[in-house]
Structure 1
Amino acid sequence: MGRGRVELKRIENKINRQVTFSKRRNGLLKKAYELSVLCDAEVALIIFSSRGKLYEFGSAGTPKTLERYQRCCFTPQDNSIERETQSWYQEVTKLKVKYESLQRTQRHLLGEDLGPLSVKELQNLEKQLEVALAQARQRKTQIMIEQMEDLRKKERQLGDLNKQLKIKLETEGQTYNAIESLWNSNAVAGTSNFSVHSSQTNTMECPPEPVLQIGYHQYISGEGSSTPKGMQGGETNFMQGWVL
């Protein structure tokens, strides 16, 4: 008795659905393998279960087959992007080669990695170094000349400033000397007038200074006068007075 046709719809029973998935998955993988072997075809098979689990088969490797698939299915826009990418890749390659060449030249100029160079290459390198040295010396001389010119310019400016300060100082000195001479003449004239006035005032107005005398005044007896008893004879010179 033959097997009936199965209706294609989602199996509602979870266990039956999982069993059916496992059987048909294995059969599909087996058919893909047989097709690749029997017909020498490049087959890639990718299966994701309802739980997200991955099952795959690739006769030449799944990534390689997918890359080939993308190349075959590119649109014109994708082709332009690919051409631009290839152009950028070639440009990067050229820049990389140029960078390596410049690094090698730099090492040669520094005296490194000179072993692989031939005699002609060494002579060219020597000429390059001589030209570079001459240019460096020329630039050095030019800079030194410019610095000397700047220093001379500053020297002239400082000399002019020094002259101006000297002239200003001489002018102020002459003014100061004139003021000092005028002040000295006025001071001398005032001093002489004050001296004459003081001398005249002392001569005309000041009275004679008093004299302090302590003791008895000298007694001189005259005719018809009587001499005190204690002042007669030898006692006339006793205590005649003290004069300061």
Structure 2
Amino acid sequence: MGRGKIEIKLIENPTNRQVTYSKRRNGIFKKAHELSVLCDAKVSLIIFSKNNKMHEYVTPGLTTKRMIDQYQEALGNVDLWCSHYERMLEKLRKLKEINNKLRGEIRLGADLDNLNFQQLQSLEEELISSSAMIRERKISNDRGANLLHVIKTRTETCKKKVKNLEQVNRSLMLGIEDKYMVHPHYLMM
């Protein structure tokens, strides 16, 4: 008796989906191995799971890189890495531009010769206000650290008090049990 056909769509239940993924992955690896052995074919299979975990099968004696190189030759020497390399070079060029621009902005003393007296005064005022803001932030951060230390100390003190009260409660409960419970040796008399 054969299996019924299933509808090919996303499996909604994550557990069932993972089980099906594992079984079918193993099945396709088995088929790739059989194709490689029975037909003397070069097979490379790469699978990425939903969690970006890579699973790979390559015909024994080969590497994935050799398979990709052979693929490029079959396409007529199309370099798969060239476009990626060019994008990286463009990104590097843009980052260097940004870096140079930022370095120019950081160098305050280099362009001070071209400023007049009023511009120098406004620059001085900006520096004073900026340093005041930095001091305020530092003080508030220090206050925050002190406040955090105080809260932590008070929390530890409260925890100790709770432990002591729990011990007192236990001893009182034992005292009550001893006072109101009938001891077995009284029953024997």
TM-score after normalising by structure 1 = 0.30
Higher helix share: 2
TM-score after normalising by structure 2 = 0.39
